[in-house]
Every structure is written in C-alpha cells, then in structure tokens.
C-alpha cells in the first residue's frame, strides 16, 4: 500500500522497511535467480531473513515444474534452507483452485506442461488424457471427452492448432470453466532470446472462444489467498519483491502489500516511473512503493 512512489532505498531505509515486516514474498525469476544462475547474494539474503525470524515465501508464475522439483532447483542454486511448503507456483495454485474453490466435478483439459500435470495429479484433480495424434486425426474427428468441465492453459512448448481447436470446443459449453495459470506475455532466455509465455497462448484461446480466462497466478489475489490460508499472513506486515511491474508489483498492490521492484529482471526504472506518473488509476497500481538494484542490497543493509 502507500505512496507507490518508486523510492530507491538505501541501507538504513531497507533495514527500517524490513523491521516493519514479518513476511517477505519473493518472485523467483529475475529476483533470486535468472534461469539457472542465482542472483549474487540471493541465497544469503534468504538465509539471513530466516535467521532474523522472518517468514519467507516464493511466488512464481512459472508452471513448468512441480513443487518438489523447485526444492531441487533451490538447493542446486545454493539456497540451502527452503522448504517445499514455502514455494507457491502458478501450477500448484491452479490445482488448489480446481480442487478447493471450483470443486471440479469432472475432468480438466490441460494445455500445459509436466509441472501442471504433476500438481493436478498430486491434488487429485482428474485430467482428460491427451491421446497421441492418430494419422488422419483432424479438427473434424479428434475425440472430445464429455467429462471435461474445465480448460486450464499454461506454458506449453508443444502447443498445437489441434489443442487450441479442442479447448475451443470444450469452452462452447458455458459450464466449462476457463482458467489460465498466469498472464505472462513472454520470458527472457539466455543470449537475448525470448519465449512466448502462457499469456500469449491464453490470448489465442480467448479470441477463439470469445471468453475471458480466470487468471490464477500473479497479479491475481488467489496466490496470496493460497499462502494466507495455510500460513495466515497479515498484508500490512508483508512485503512483495518482484521484477515485473504488471504481474509482481500489481499482485502486491492487489493484495495490500508493500512492493519492491528489483532491477535484475524484466522491468526498468523508467517503466516504473511511467506507471507512477500515468493518469490512469489502474496503471498506478503497477508502480512499486520502493526500488532496489538487486536483492543483494538487502544483504548489505542487514549486515551493516
Ligand atoms: N513461466 C515460464 C515458462 C518461465 O520460464 C518464467 C521465467 O523464467 C516464468 C513463468 C516467470 O517466473 P517468475 O514468476 O518466477 O518470474
Ligand atoms: Ca519474475
């Protein structure tokens, strides 16, 4: 909450901010790591915050891994004391939503990847089997499962026209739920390349179905509700640290958290100022309260 002032913090101010907060929510990619490389100092920051009695959570829109796989990634990158229960991904939360909120009676048709399928299986949510494309299979004769009562779209490197066509058929029924793991438009890859995100696949299906997906991941409140229902967080004592203004910072604003933008990822300080100075009230919610170069600045502040 507060001023959304994009205030660049230095040592003592970072310490004061952390003194006032009990819970720290970290976005993952662009904040604590970039791909397979930890951001310098990030593992130490996480450990130090925990030593100081803070509760630490990880909130990622990356749906490609199940939770147990994230635990391995954390440890591989030098984060030694992160527990599975502290990791909230859009895949885990999508499965929780289908089980606990939608209470799905039927199957979900998934455009997505292994992480989503594993979380759905762990949550006991039935998934419509995707049969291998038969020779001669077409949009006219591919089988449709009458038990499908939801479509869930996430990041899918094997996205096809056939999957889009099937999902579109399921969504003709107004009783069929339409969910998206996250709205991310694209992600940076090594070497200056990018990959299209779940949001781009969701947009294709939204156009094809003339419907709007319910987004589970950031900036939707649901991920915070998910954490809160298990750990009972007070928004006033919680801090969200992220690198993408339209997802991480908006998520923090939507949930009533103080927000910090780090400049080790996607969004720039100029973009933050542009949101802050915008005339559109909606856009202002994408402006962070605070800015730091890197989470490493927190380390310095705590060690001073
Ligand atoms: N989804 C995919 C497929 C990604 O590759 C990434 C980042 O690498 C993300 C989402 C964004 O993850 P985060 O919310 O941790 O920044
Ligand atoms: Ca990020």
How confident is the model over 246-263, as a mean pLDDT?
Answer: 98
Across residues 197-213, what is the average pLDDT? 98
- How does DSSP assign 16-54, residue by residue? HHHHT-SEEEE--BTTTEETTEEPTTHHHHHHHHHHTT-
Residue with CA at minimum distance from ligand 1 atom 3 = 62
Distance between Cα 89 and ligand 2 center (Å) = 12
User: To the nearest whole percent, how much of the chain has pLDDT over 90?
Assistant: 90
pLDDT value, residue 115: 97
pLDDT, tens digit (0-9, with 9 covering 90-100), for 14-40: 999 999 999 999 999 999 999 999 999
Report the nearest-CA residue for atom 9 of ligand 1: 62
How far is Cα 10 from Cα 261, in angstroms, rounded to an integer? 13
Eight-state DSSP code of residue 155: -
| Residue of minimum CA distance from atom 16 in ligand 1 | 29
Residues near 277 by beta carbon (within 8 Å), at least 6 away in sequence: none
- Residue 16, token pair as written in the block: 């004061």
Q: Choose the catalytic residue: 16, 29, 81, 277.
A: 29
Task: Give ipTM to 2 decimals.
Answer: 0.99
Query: Greater confidence, 111 or 140?
Result: 111
pLDDT at 261: 98
Pocket of ligand 1 (CB under 6 A): 27-30, 60-62, 64, 155, 184, 187, 197
pTM of the shown model? 0.96
**Can you give the pLDDT at residue 2?**
41
Residue 1 has what pLDDT?
A: 41
Report the alpha-carbon distance of residue 275 to residue 245 in Å, rounded: 9
The catalytic position among 16, 27, 145, 289 is: 27
Mean per-residue pLDDT of the chain? 95
Which stretch of 65-74, 175-184, 247-256, 276-285 has the lowest confidence by average pLDDT? 276-285
The pLDDT of residue 58 = 98
- State mean pLDDT over 95-99: 98
Distance 61 CA to ligand 1 centre (A): 5
Q: Which residues contact 81 (CB under 8 A, 6 or more apart)?
A: 46, 47, 50
Distances in whole angstroms, Cα of residue 241 to Cα of each of 259, 267, 298? 6, 13, 11
Q: What is the pLDDT of residues 120-130, one digit of tens each?
A: 999 999 999 88
The predicted structure's pLDDT at residue 97? 98
pLDDT at 134: 75
């Amino acid at each position: 909450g507060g001023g959304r002032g994009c205030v660049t913090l230095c040592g003592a101010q970072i310490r004061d901010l952390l003194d006032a907060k009990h819970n720290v929510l970290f976005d993952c990619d662009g904040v604590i790591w970039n791909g397979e490389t930890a951001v310098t100092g990030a593992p130490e920051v996480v450990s130090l915050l925990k030593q100081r009695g803070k509760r630490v959570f990880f909130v990622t829109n990356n749906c490609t891994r199940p939770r147990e796989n994230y635990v391995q990634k954390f440890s591989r990158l030098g984060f030694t004391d992160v527990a599975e229960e502290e990791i909230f991904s859009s895949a885990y939360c999508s499965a929780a939503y289908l089980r606990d909120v939608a209470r799905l009676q039927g199957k979900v048709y998934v455009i997505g990847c292994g992480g989503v399928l594993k979380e759905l299986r762990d949550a006991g949510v039935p998934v419509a089997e995707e049969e291998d494309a038969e020779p001669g299979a077409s949009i006219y004769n591919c089988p449709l499962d009458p038990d499908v009562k939801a479509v869930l779209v996430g990041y899918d490197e094997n996205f096809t026209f056939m999957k889009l066509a099937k999902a579109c058929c399921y969504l003709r029924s107004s009783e069929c739920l339409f969910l998206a793991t996250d709205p991310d438009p694209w992600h940076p890859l090594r070497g200056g390349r990018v990959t299209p995100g779940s949001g781009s696949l969701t947009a294709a299906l939204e156009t094809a179905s003339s419907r709007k997906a319910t987004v589970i991941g950031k900036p939707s409140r649901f991920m915070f509700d998910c954490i809160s229902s298990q750990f009972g967080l007070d928004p006033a004592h919680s801090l969200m640290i992220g690198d993408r203004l339209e997802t991480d910072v908006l998520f923090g604003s939507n949930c009533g958290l103080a927000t910090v933008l780090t400049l080790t990822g996607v969004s720039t300080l100029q973009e933050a100022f542009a949101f802050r100075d915008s005339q559109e009230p909606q856009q202002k919610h994408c402006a962070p309260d605070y800015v730091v170069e890197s989470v490493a600045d927190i380390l310095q502040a705590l060690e001073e």
